[in-house]
Amino acid sequence: MTIQELHQHFLDHKLVSTDTRKISKNSIFFALKGDNFNGNAYAKEALSKGAFLAIVDEKEYVNNKDIILVNNALTTLQQLANYHRNYCSAKIISITGSNGKTTTKELINAVLSTQYKTIATKGNLNNHIGVPLTLLSIKEDTEIAVVEMGANHKKEIAFLCSIAEPDYGYITNFGKAHLEGFGSLEGVIEGKSELYDYLTTNKKKVFLNADDPIQKEKLDTYIQKFGFSQEQKEYYNIILLSASPFVSIHVEKTIINTKLIGKYNFTNSCAAIVIGKYFSIALPAIQKAIESYTPENNRSQIIEKKEYKIILDAYNANPTSMTAALENFSTLKDNTKVLFLGDMFELGKTSQEEHQNIADLAQKLNFNSVYLIGENFNRTKTNLQKFNSFESLKLYLKENNLPENSTILIKGSRGMALERILDII
């Protein structure tokens, strides 16, 4: 079966599935493989649950006329997504970066959806499987698709660009994330810049933060660009008024008061503003969309519980985002500040050094109480309280009360699941 023929089947129902536990009726099931599973073994089950086709890549599982054998099911999914992307007329805006991708994607989508028919990556489905699934969610009347791209090694963004073929792109920042795969900060810069490299090579539009110190050195290399700046007059001027705790922005004699915490969310908001302006959306509509956006899913959420004000930022963490969160937390005028920090993952050989740097910074900033959780933080040399596991922290908190009327910041990598702290304080 050719990709064109498969696409015609897809157009009949416009649904794909990769997990038999969540099969959509009349979908095409793709039998993907992982370290601990083989989707081929579930092809027959997928059909019994309502899929109308199953795409497999192991001959022994072809025992039904509705099971189609291909060389590689994942590659076929990616090829189908690319074919569909070119079949539809939607413009593609791709977002990548070390921190803030999902928030930026959601803000951009909130702004653009005020005037256009849009779709955007759901959650963080931003890898070699998630990007194809996002592209396949584009409808024939979709005008703009906002596609998030994640990566943990070089050449991954370039590969995702070959599938999505973006018309526009924005890099949120370059930070110490996924150092195990990228090798160094220089590797991160090279890997994330693959988005701008693709856009420049193909004479597409680059959206950028012209004040980013890394981008400043490359501004002249981007021929088609549209950016924002607090300093450079040739770019769209947006000013940070305050971030204590919520970000407040001045642009064109208009003040935008967001529900986002921390200076690091200023540039995320700016990206949505400048992209909205590029697509001719009126500033009042941009203002309303950004002011209406409320973060969720453990991303800089403000939660009131008992006498505590909690900043829950437990979706993910790396040295760059952790440093920004601590420095922002230190500027808040709250009287009593309590800090819970969980391990940062995928840092490779730099892990111990980076955890020590964060522990030293937390101690230097003189918070009222600091709790470090996880095996990596437990190996740091510090006077701060350390817990080897979440369970040991849980036992401690059951016997010890936090200071009354505290403001609490909770931050750690996704694998630490520090939102569980909410259940025990």
Give tens-digit pLDDT for 385-398: 999 999 999 999 99
The span from the CA of 111 to the CA of 98, in Å, is 22
DSSP H stretches of helix in 49-205: 73-87, 101-112, 130-135, 156-164, 179-182, 185-192, 194-201
Nearest Cα to 355, choosing from 388, 322, 402?
322
The Cα-based distances of 51 to 16, 74, 201 in angstroms read: 9, 17, 40
Average pLDDT over every residue of 312-335: 90
Q: Would you call 281 helix, strand, or coil by DSSP?
A: coil
By the 8 A CB rule, do 171 and 208 touch? yes
User: Is residue 306 over pLDDT 80?
Assistant: yes
DSSP H stretches of helix in 332-385: 351-364, 375-378
Tokens representing residue 37 in the block? 């599973």
* 399: CB partners within 8 A, 6+ apart: none
The span from the CA of 179 to the CA of 349, in Å, is 8
DSSP H stretches of helix in 35-127: 43-48, 73-87, 101-112
Nearest Cα to 272, choosing from 99, 146, 150?
146
Domains of the chain: 3-70 (3.40.1390.10), 88-292 (3.40.1190.10), 301-423 (3.90.190.20)
Q: What is the mean pLDDT of the chain?
A: 94
* Predicted pLDDT of residue 366: 86
Average pLDDT over every residue of 179-199: 92
User: Is residue 421 over pLDDT 80?
Assistant: yes
User: Is residue 150 over pLDDT 90?
Assistant: yes
Tell me the β-bridge partners of 254: 251
User: Is residue 372 over pLDDT 90?
Assistant: yes
Average pLDDT over every residue of 237-243: 95
By the 8 A CB rule, do 387 and 373 touch? yes
pTM for the whole structure: 0.90
Q: Ramachandran region of residue 107, left (φ > 0), alpha (ψ -120 to 50) or beta?
A: alpha
Total residue count of the chain as it appears in this document: 425
Average pLDDT over every residue of 155-182: 94
Element (H, E) at 28: strand 28-30
* Predicted pLDDT of residue 220: 83
* Predicted pLDDT of residue 36: 87
The span from the CA of 182 to the CA of 96, in Å, is 15
Tell me the β-bridge partners of 33: 38
* Predicted pLDDT of residue 212: 93
Q: Which residue has the tokens 């990007």?
A: 131
Share of the chain above pLDDT 70, in %: 100
User: Is residue 1 over pLDDT 90?
Assistant: no
* Predicted pLDDT of residue 180: 85
Tell me the β-bridge partners of 342: 373
Which band of pLDDT confidence, cut at 50, 70 and 90, is reported for residue 412? Answer: very high
* Predicted pLDDT of residue 425: 86
* Predicted pLDDT of residue 245: 84
Which band of pLDDT confidence, cut at 50, 70 and 90, is reported for residue 216? Answer: confident
Q: Which of 59-68, 82-91, 218-227 shows the lowest mean pLDDT across its residues?
A: 218-227
* Predicted pLDDT of residue 315: 86
Tokens representing residue 280 in the block? 């001719």
Angle between helix 194-201 and 185-192 (nearest 10)? 30
